[in-house]
């Protein structure tokens, strides 16, 4: 077993805590010390409150000592992406627009973590308002990949992935609009799960694109992801898009469902732009499933070529609408120099938003404008229906789809200055968001230069209990997830 407690899994730590071999205060102190030791280089955190975390840990130990009913995450330090509300904590979205904002309430997922006994630990960096694939678009500065500090951790949940990989948290939460959990998980060598749209409440999540956003866990193992999902999933009356669906025991499903499975390989996901080392690692994963008597079948998702265009029309349109509330009037950044209300709006937004956010607001406003709505936004919604239909048709013959998570391993900071080149980093992940499907990234190897590679499995709507065992089967036969960066 790993000696450093901050590199243990939730399942391992729960056993140690239950056996009295470790206290939550001891664990939290170790995580805090690790963060102080390495975060000046990784820069995963926007802020953290050491005293508050230790107070939560002490309260957890007190509950344990008095025999109170304990939750699945009792005493476990969990970091949260800085777009998820925690009462009386900063909520910045890594934007100057919200640099001084303190959340007045908890998100639903925050409340559920608290009920499960988690120690909420810090506010994690991201691309501003979750718009990006590298965590370079942050008003707090870029996050660095713990495996190579000259490289990006992916995005937009780069802080969540980097903190976990570096041992600065035991698990984290991120949000995924077009791959923002899975892509950084792949680039940082951890597990990242995007649940089905509507399975996890979005109440208390700062909105980017409301029909695409979903909160999900980043963890060391698939088992830990199943534990986290079991805590945060379920209907919420405060979220009108939350579905009233059964929440099974995802962890128990890992042992109950052993395959073999029918696995589809989308031919459109293995073409131009795929890094050879990434492709080779994924091919080896396919060979593994074949060796386990799984049926491997090539399938086609014919509208894949339209995913990127469709996504950036719908996502920017919804971002334009959602971000209209940041106007310098009610809350957020307000310019110090304005002669009238019109100038107040313009200057506050110009000063408060970064370049990428402005770019997406402008694109979204354009596609929603009079004369262009039908030509762009309405047509994109129709294509979205075709994309979802492609996936559902494929699932008539297979149980899950297997693809690379990212077409490339972690690239160097400042390398992708062309916005389109950055957008292409999500080419394999956005389809699951457009179709509302669950998808998970698990480590599947390293490049010759020691950079992690991720494998993506995409499941059927609300059937995470069937998707997770497929990922777990691969993970348990390999040791990629046990490697840690040397910082």
Q: What is the pLDDT of residues 156-192, one digit of tens each?
A: 999 999 999 999 999 999 999 999 999 999 999 999 9
Q: Which residues are catalytic?
A: 81, 156, 180
pTM, rounded to two decimals: 0.97
Any idea what the Cα angle at residue 44 is, between residues 431 and 168, rounded to 5°? 105
Overall average pLDDT of the 287-314 stretch = 97
Nearest C-alpha neighbor of 425 from the set 127, 184, 219, 94: 184
pLDDT at 486 over 50: yes
Percent pLDDT > 90 in the chain is 94
Q: Is residue 401 within 8 Å of 264, Cβ to Cβ? A: yes
- Contacts of residue 260, defined as CB under 8 A and 6 or more positions apart, other chains included, come to 292, 293, 294, 295
Q: Strand 439-446 and strand 215-219: pairing? A: unpaired
Distance CA 314, CA 308 (A): 10
The reported pLDDT for the residue numbered 167 is: 98
pLDDT at 218 over 90: yes
Nearest C-alpha neighbor of 11 from the set 67, 72, 62, 57: 72
Burial 113-137 (b: 16+ CB within 10 A, else e): bbebbbbbbbbbbbbbbbbbbbbbb
Distance CA 77, CA 87 (A): 17
Distance of CA 365 to the CA centre of its chain: 26
The reported pLDDT for the residue numbered 1 is: 39
**Mean pLDDT of all residues belonging to the chain:** 96
Q: How far is CA 397 from CA 261, 295, 298, 389, in A?
A: 11, 10, 10, 14
CATH entry, 5-265+396-482, from 3.60.10.10, 3.40.50.1460, 3.40.50.970, 3.90.1300.10: 3.90.1300.10
The reported pLDDT for the residue numbered 98 is: 98
The reported pLDDT for the residue numbered 390 is: 98
Q: Is residue 433 within 8 Å of 177, Cβ to Cβ? A: yes
Alpha-carbon torsion, ordered 316, 322, 327, 329, to 10 deg: 180
For the chain, which residues make up each domain, given as ranges?
5-265+396-482
Greatest Cα-to-Cα distance within the chain, rounded to the nearest angstrom: 72
Distance of CA 24 to the CA centre of its chain: 25
Q: How far is CA 156 from CA 6, 173, 178, 227, 368, in A?
A: 23, 12, 9, 23, 25
Any idea what the Cα angle at residue 117 is, between residues 9 and 78, rounded to 5°? 45
pLDDT tens, position by position, 72-96: 999 999 999 999 999 999 999 999 9
pLDDT tens, position by position, 440-453: 999 999 999 999 99
pLDDT at 400 over 50: yes
pLDDT at 69 over 90: no
pLDDT at 70 over 90: no
pLDDT at 311 over 70: yes
pLDDT tens, position by position, 29-57: 999 999 999 999 999 999 999 999 999 99
- CB count within 10 Å of CB 62 equals 11
Overall average pLDDT of the 475-485 stretch = 96
Long-range Cβ contact pairs of 58-65 (< 8 A, separation 24 or more):
58/24, 58/25, 60/24, 60/117, 60/119, 61/23, 61/24, 61/25, 63/117, 64/17, 64/24
222 three-class SS: helix
Q: How confident is the model at residue 257 (pLDDT cuts 50, 70, 90)?
A: confident
Overall average pLDDT of the 306-320 stretch = 97
- Residue 148 parent element (H or E): none
pLDDT at 308 over 60: yes
- Contacts of residue 314, defined as CB under 8 A and 6 or more positions apart, other chains included, come to 209, 211, 212, 377, 380, 381, 384, 434
- Which one is predicted more confidently, 435 or 372? 435
């Amino acid at each position: 077993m790993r000696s450093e407690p901050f590199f243990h899994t939730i399942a391992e730590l729960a056993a140690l805590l239950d056996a009295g071999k470790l206290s939550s205060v001891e664990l939290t102190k170790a995580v805090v010390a690790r963060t102080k030791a390495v975060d000046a280089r990784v820069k995963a955190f926007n802020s953290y409150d050491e005293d508050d975390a230790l107070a939560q840990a002490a309260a957890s130990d007190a509950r344990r000592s008095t025999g109170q009913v304990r939750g699945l995450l009792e005493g476990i330090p969990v970091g949260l992406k800085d777009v998820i509300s925690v009462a009386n904590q900063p909520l910045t979205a890594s934007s100057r627009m919200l640099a001084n904002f303190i959340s007045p309430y908890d998100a639903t997922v925050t409340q559920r973590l608290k009920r499960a006994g988690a120690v909420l630990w810090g506010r994690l960096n991201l691309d501003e308002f979750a718009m990006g694939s590298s965590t370079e678009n942050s008003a707090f500065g870029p996050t660095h990949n713990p495996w190579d500090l000259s490289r990006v951790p992916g995005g937009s949940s780069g802080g969540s992935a980097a903190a976990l990989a570096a041992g600065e948290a035991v698990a984290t939460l991120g949000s995924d609009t077009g791959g923002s959990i899975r892509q950084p998980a792949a680039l940082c060598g951890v597990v990242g799960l995007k649940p089905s749209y509507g399975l996890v409440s979005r109440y208390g999540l700062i909105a980017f694109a409301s029909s695409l956003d979903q909160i999900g866990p980043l963890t060391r193992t698939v088992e830990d992801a199943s534990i986290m999902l079991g805590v945060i999933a379920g209907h919420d009356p405060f979220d009108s898009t939350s579905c009233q669906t059964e929440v099974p025991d995802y962890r128990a499903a890992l042992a109950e469902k052993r395959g073999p499975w029918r696995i589809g390989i989308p031919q459109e996901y293995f073409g131009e732009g795929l890094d050879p080392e990434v492709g080779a690692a994924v091919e080896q994963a396919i060979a593994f499933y074949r060796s386990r008597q799984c049926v491997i079948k090539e399938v086609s998702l014919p509208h894949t070529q339209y995913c990127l265009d469709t996504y950036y029309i719908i996502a920017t349109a919804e971002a334009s609408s959602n971000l209209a509330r940041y106007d310098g009037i009610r809350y957020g950044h307000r310019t110090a120099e304005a002669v009238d209300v019109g100038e107040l709006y313009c200057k506050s937004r110009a000063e408060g938003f970064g370049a990428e956010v402005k770019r997406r607001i402008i694109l979204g406003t354009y596609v929603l404008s009079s004369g262009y709505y039908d030509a762009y936004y309405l047509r994109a919604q129709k294509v979205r229906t075709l994309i979802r239909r492609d996936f559902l048709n494929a699932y008539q013959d297979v149980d899950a789809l297997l693809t690379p998570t990212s077409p490339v391993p972690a690239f160097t900071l400042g390398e992708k200055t062309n916005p389109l080149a950055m957008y292409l980093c999500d080419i394999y992940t956005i389809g699951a968001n457009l179709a509302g499907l669950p998808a998970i990234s698990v480590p599947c190897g390293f490049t010759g230069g020691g950079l992690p590679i991720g494998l993506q499995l995409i499941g059927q709507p609300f059937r995470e209990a069937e998707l997770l065992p497929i990922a777990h089967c691969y993970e348990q036969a390999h040791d990629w997830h046990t490697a840690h960066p040397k910082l």
